[in-house]
Structure 1
Amino acid sequence: MDLVSGFEHAAGHDVPGAYAGIVLDYFNFGDLAAYLTGRSDSAYRSRQGVIALLGCNCGEVGCWPLEAQVIATEDSVMWRGFSQPHRPQRDYGDFGPFVFRRDQYKRAVREATAASLPPSPR
């Protein structure tokens, strides 16, 4: 959030950095691992490979999302093509791309998926 907030402030965008993490209890993304790799059938996605990485600081992802394309290769996962759908005139061309090693990304996705599961009954 700090990276995009700094970018939006420096670019002089109105309402800069009004993001928060996605509240998993409020957002029906389907399979989290598939969503984070840009290959889910989530109803949210407006076009192939595009996901909301951040939601609004009010907790509703659709209110003020930061979107990006997710491009996965054999060795890496890239976030690029950032956009704010409620301000389509904004230019995020100088923001990113962010490239992650595929093994590290998959590990982070596994950890996020495990953290999102309800606790098992004892």
Structure 2
Amino acid sequence: MDKLRLEIEKREDGSLSNKVVIPFINEKSLIEILKGIELEYDKSLAGAYDGISPAEFIDEFQQREEKVKSRILECECGCDGCWSFVVKITEKDDLIEWSHFEQVHRDNWEYTQIEPFQFERSDYLKEMEKLKA
């Protein structure tokens, strides 16, 4: 079972949101995990992500059944849709799974090295509750 921690970071750089959510999986930033994979494709763009606002992160989770994939990271420039990273979020009994990882602007970038992440539903929902505060 994987461990999810949603960390809220404050931005003071004039970006659209002054707070963003950075997912940490098994105590490692998802951005760092992706950077390790993306270096193979483009060193200048590898890991060029930032979080999305807490409200957007909550909305993406709540609307997961209406979408094929949910946005969990955005471009480090802060522009909506610029460099989105998406996953399929599936609820299975007492689990919430992230799978089918995709950089929406790079069809040839593969993320098959990442196994689907599986989180205990109760732990996941506790992390989501922290975003509402």
Please give the TM-score of this superposition, normalised by the length of structure 2.
Answer: 0.67
* Equivalent position of 1:39 in the other structure: 64
Letter in 1 for 2:64: R
Letter in 1 for 2:100: G
Max radius of gyration: which structure? 1
Write the distance in 2 (CA, Å) between the matches of 1:37 and 1:94: 27
Relative contact order, CA 8 A, sep 6+: which one is greater?
2
Identity across the alignment (%): 29
In the TM superposition, residue 79 of structure 1 has moved relative to its aligned partner by 0.6
Unaligned runs of 5+ in 1: 42-47, 115-122
Write the distance in 2 (CA, Å) between the matches of 1:61 and 1:16: 18
Q: Are 2:7 and 1:7 aligned?
A: no
Q: CA RMSD in A?
A: 2.1
Runs of 4+ in 1 over 4 A off after TM superposition: none
Q: How many residues align?
A: 101
Write the distance in 2 (CA, Å) between the matches of 1:108 and 1:6: 25
Write the distance in 1 (CA, Å) between the matches of 2:122 and 2:82: 32
Please give the TM-score of this superposition, normalised by the length of structure 1.
Answer: 0.72
Assess, with a 3 A threshold, how the Cα gap between structure 1 residues 83 and 108 changes in structure 2: closer, same or farther. Answer: same
* Equivalent position of 1:98 in the other structure: 117
